Homo-oligomer: A and B are copies of this chain.
């Protein structure tokens, strides 16, 4: 009979309980404040019990990041759905990305900023996120090129990365509160996005390969003179 199945269901239920507790702490107080003991308190288990569900604390955050990618992908999809113009689709999708950084700052930081969960770098869920979202977005860039809204010299995948990096930077600044007081993070994100899109209409020979990159590479000598007056 289905005792095995019941067992599996129970395990899954507890696993979800751990994730739920972790997520609540994580969203409310941030990555640093989530501890195994706090999670254990919340689910009324001992801290050691968690380790049979998640061998390392990082694995919990890996799972949360996977959730984050799903949430982001859903959000972007929802915003883009039904919009015909590819340029407008790009605009809205990227703006949804920025909005995600505002409404889910902890998720955003975990997914794109934080380097203390190294397993995230070769993420699996991120790969799925890339599949569903970037494939569509790359096609949109291509469509913009075909329609003459973008320069035909662009590499669509590279161009998308550029847009992504720009919005990521604006979101990061907004999040880290590294703006002078009075600056508006929304305006910054908007301007970055529009500037990049405007740049893509230009066909003034941007190569989008690392071609003339070497010319700029003369690295800045910074490691010296760390002691000042």
Contacts and interface: CB of A to CB of B under 8 A. Distances in A.
Given A103-B219, A162-B191, 4 more contacts: A30-B115, A95-B216, A162-B192, A166-B196
The number of chain A residues touching the other chain, given as a range, is: 35 or more
A3 interface: no
10 contacts: A67-B226, A75-B222, A91-B216, A95-B216, A102-B219, A162-B188, A165-B189, A166-B169, A168-B172, A186-B213
Interface string A150-172: 00000000110110111111101
A88 to B, nearest CB: 10
A75 B169 contact: no
Interface of A: 16, 23, 30, 32, 67, 70-72, 74-76, 78-79, 91-92, 95-96, 99-100, 102-104, 109, 112-116, 120-121, 126, 130, 158-159, 161-162, 164-170, 172-173, 175-180, 183-184, 186-192, 194-202, 204, 206, 208-210, 212-213, 216-223, 225-228
A74 B225 CA distance: 10
A74 B222 contact: yes
A121 B178 contact: yes
A2 B43 CA distance: 63
Nearest to A106: B115
Contacts of A176: 112-115, 121
The 7 closest A-B pairs by CB, nearest first: A169-B169, A199-B199, A187-B210, A195-B199, A198-B199, A75-B220, A165-B169
A170 B213 CA distance: 14
A222 B101 CA distance: 11
Contact of A204 (B91, B130, B201, B225): B201
Contacts of A177: 121
A211 to B, nearest CB: 8
Contact of A188 (B165, B180, B183): B165
A60 to B, nearest CB: 14
